[in-house]
Chains A and B, each alone.
Chain A
Amino acid sequence: MNEILKVEALHKTYDIKKLFKPTLKLKALSGINFHLSKKETLGIVGESGCGKSTLAKVLTKLESITHGEIILLGKKYNDYLALEFHSKIQMVFQDPYQSLNPRKKAFDIIADPIRINTQTSSLEIDYLVMEMMKKVGLREEFSKRYPHHFSGGQRQRLGIARALMLRPEILILDEPVSALDVSIQAQVLNLLLELQVEFNLSYIFISHDLSVIQHMSDRILVMYLGRVVEYGSRDQIFYNPLHPYTKILLESAPKTQKSQKTHGKTLGQEIIVKGELPSALNLPKGCAFEPRCPYAKVSCKESVPDLEIKQGREVACFEV
């Protein structure tokens, strides 16, 4: 079976309780559908508040599902036992300064996943840790050091090593390079590409940085305020975007080469999107992007557009 993860009509709602005020419902995710195939990278892109971090937490079971179903290797999420689940899906976090316990040595950080979950002998753990450190490009003598001795890039390598120790099939990468310097970003991205081939990994790559998403992904999911607005292959999204939000996102990303704006032709001229993200507590009745959309019509205010297949990909817009 090629498809290893399937997300069906996923909803996540938070209750915001305030003293003396009625409880508010914050819809962090509404009706998310996607699937992930073996050895594939699915890029998830969107701005802050679009729900991509919530999605990462739900996918790793750090948060519960409100509605809907996630199926991992043909089995529902809720049917998994802890160990079985953790050895299928792991995560690399955004901030390499917060995601490593400052009081633990590099060796222990990498070794703990095995120590907790298996009965491996300490000799074998030694071997496995050293092997993994080599694979992520960390020298053996670093194993005795504490996280604050490492640079940002090295810390992120440590985080990747830890995530791979249980040999997961899916790795969720939550903004793995956005806290790193430009010259280090490329090193880490290259490492991720190598490891994907070596360990047959499937990636869910979450980022706000379009150029990184463009480089890493096979297929892309564009999110806006907890909803999917466009879902298609890398080439469809980057060279022929259909949803106005996707277009504007691509247009806004700073580029060094003007000639690269291949999507410019569909846009005609440069548009600066007006306004900012509305509050997720007070979503518009119609399309969530309508208040900022340059193509909005009256009908956009009235109902939420569904995802429909148009030109080979899924788009949620009335005007396409």
Chain B
Amino acid sequence: MSNNLLEIKDLNIFFKSDKNPDPIHAVRDLSFSLKQGEMLGVVGESGSGKSITNLALMGILGDSAIVRAEQCSLNNRELLNLKEHEWQKVRGGEISMIFQDPMTALNPFLTVEYQIVETILAHLNISKGEAKNKAIELLLQVGITSPKDRLKSYPFELSGGMAQRVMIAMAISTSPKLLIADEPTTALDVTIQKQILTLIKSLQEKNNMSVILVTHDLGVVSEFSERVQVMYAGELVETGRTSEIIKNPKHPYTFGLLSSRPGAVTRPAKTPLASIPGIVPAFHQRPAGCQFNPRCIHVLEDCKLGKIPIEHFVRCLHPMKETIV
């Protein structure tokens, strides 16, 4: 028994495919926990397994996926053993999710009112009229100024930022304990991104809700989340306090990500950026040993063998000692 809201130990996700006899190992030995009311930033590029992990937490991975874990529990309740009808209560009830593209996440043929009220009625035992009042209240909470007019709109009449606000209103309508925000602002402009992230942060604090904020942008994480975990090629490579990792990244991948950010470091313009060579390996071409070793500039012989354990919150045999200037 633990006090953590979410407790994940050794989560492994495989995908069967008809072209390859061996299943693809998409997420390896992922362990992390999340306290009630805490925000966790998850940083990773495409293929890092960050989105797949979220879908597994929502129980919507589909038939080709095999999910195994020593523990994967929400409030000490094991999620992986749930039946489909139990999942339906958890999904959208205790765990909610918002997506990268709010426009495709909303049904284009139904009004905002219909979509919010339907979500509320699916999880709460209240009348339609009460649900409508709650919908108005929710829209006000997410900063929509004329909620009654907005309820009558169809998704195409909303701007990207407005649609994401509606998605957030739907996500928090059931007072979830955990909100998963998967790249919630990647499709939005910077000024709108700031508005949306600030909104999520304030809702997290006000409702004592836990948030998993997935992003590819280290800047977003460092401004909004105290704790961060960095994923690479299906593995957790580094985790810790954001301010600490931004200053003293121990894993060469994190170091590379931070020092390749243009404009992040005070350096004269138009000089070469420190870049990470190569690309993320494809799912069926994952190397032995450290997943990052083919791209790592500090690679040694022992990096290429066996499983690399996480020690002191970093999955690296030879952690970096340098600081980011």
A–B contact, 8 Å CB criterion (strictly below): yes
- Residues on A lying within 8 angstroms of B by beta carbon are 41, 47-48, 151, 153-154, 181-187, 189-190, 193-194, 208, 210-212, 214-218, 234, 248-249, 251-257, 260, 272-273, 276-277
**Which residues from B are CB-within-8-Å of A212?**
262-263
> Which of B190, B257, B258 has most A Cβ within 10 Å?
B190
Residue of A at shortest CB range from B245?
A: A256
**Which residues from A are CB-within-8-Å of B189?**
47-48, 208, 277
Residue of B at shortest CB range from A253?
A: B190
A215-B269 in contact (CB<8A): yes
B186-198 CB contact bits vs A (8 Å, 1 = yes)? 0001111111001
Residue of B at shortest CB range from A48?
A: B189
B211-252 CB contact bits vs A (8 Å, 1 = yes)? 000001111101100000000000000000000001000000
CB distance from B200 to the nearest CB of A (A): 13
| Interface status of B162 (Cβ within 8 A of chain A) | yes
Give the bracket for the number of chain B residues in contact with chain A. 35 or more
Given known A47-B189, A183-B45, A183-B257, contact A210–B276 (CB-CB < 8 A): no
Q: For the complex, what is the distance from the CA of A251 to the CA of B257, rounded to whole Å?
A: 22
| Interface status of B153 (Cβ within 8 A of chain A) | no
Q: Which of B45, B222, B261 contacts A181 (CB 8 A)?
A: B45
A190-B275 in contact (CB<8A): yes
**Which residues from B are CB-within-8-Å of A47?**
189-192
Q: For the complex, what is the distance from the CA of A234 to the CA of B267, rounded to whole Å?
A: 13
Q: For the complex, what is the distance from the CA of A211 to the CA of B261, rounded to whole Å?
A: 8
A211-B246 in contact (CB<8A): no
- Residues on B lying within 8 angstroms of A by beta carbon are 45-46, 159-162, 189-195, 198, 216-220, 222-223, 246, 256-258, 260-266, 269-277, 279-280
CB distance from A44 to the nearest CB of B (A): 15
A256-B258 in contact (CB<8A): yes
Q: Which of B191, B218, B263, B274 contacts A215 (CB 8 A)?
A: B263
A256-B219 in contact (CB<8A): yes
Q: For the complex, what is the distance from the CA of A315 to the CA of B158, rounded to whole Å?
A: 31
A254-B222 in contact (CB<8A): yes
Given known A182-B260, A182-B261, A183-B275, contact A255–B269 (CB-CB < 8 A): no
CB distance from A291 to the nearest CB of B (A): 13
**Which residues from B are CB-within-8-Å of A248?**
191
Q: For the complex, what is the distance from the CA of A253 to the CA of B262, rounded to whole Å?
A: 12
**Which residues from A are CB-within-8-Å of B222?**
254-257
**Which residues from B are CB-within-8-Å of A151?**
279
**Which residues from A are CB-within-8-Å of B277?**
187
CB distance from B87 to the nearest CB of A (A): 32
CB distance from B287 to the nearest CB of A (A): 16
**Which residues from B are CB-within-8-Å of A189?**
262, 273
| A183-B260, A185-B260, A208-B190 known, 16 other contacts, Cβ within 8 Å | A48-B160, A151-B279, A181-B45, A186-B273, A186-B275, A193-B270, A208-B189, A234-B269, A252-B191, A255-B223, A256-B222, A257-B222, A257-B246, A257-B264, A273-B194, A276-B162
Q: For the complex, what is the distance from the CA of A194 to the CA of B270, rounded to whole Å?
A: 9
**Which residues from A are CB-within-8-Å of B258?**
256
Given known A182-B257, A186-B276, A277-B159, contact A249–B192 (CB-CB < 8 A): no
Residue of A at shortest CB range from B266?
A: A260
CB distance from A283 to the nearest CB of B (A): 16
**Which residues from B are CB-within-8-Å of A183?**
45, 256-257, 260, 275-276, 280
Q: For the complex, what is the distance from the CA of A252 to the CA of B275, rounded to whole Å?
A: 25
B274-A276 in contact (CB<8A): no
> Which of A41, A211, A214, A256 has most B Cβ within 10 Å?
A256
A216-B194 in contact (CB<8A): no
Q: For the complex, what is the distance from the CA of A183 to the CA of B297, rounded to whole Å?
A: 14
B270-A254 in contact (CB<8A): no
**Which residues from B are CB-within-8-Å of A254?**
190, 193-194, 217, 219-220, 222-223
> Which of A154, A216, A255, A273 has most B Cβ within 10 Å?
A255
Q: For the complex, what is the distance from the CA of A172 to the CA of B273, rounded to whole Å?
A: 21
**Which residues from A are CB-within-8-Å of B261?**
182, 186, 211, 256
Q: For the complex, what is the distance from the CA of A215 to the CA of B275, rounded to whole Å?
A: 14
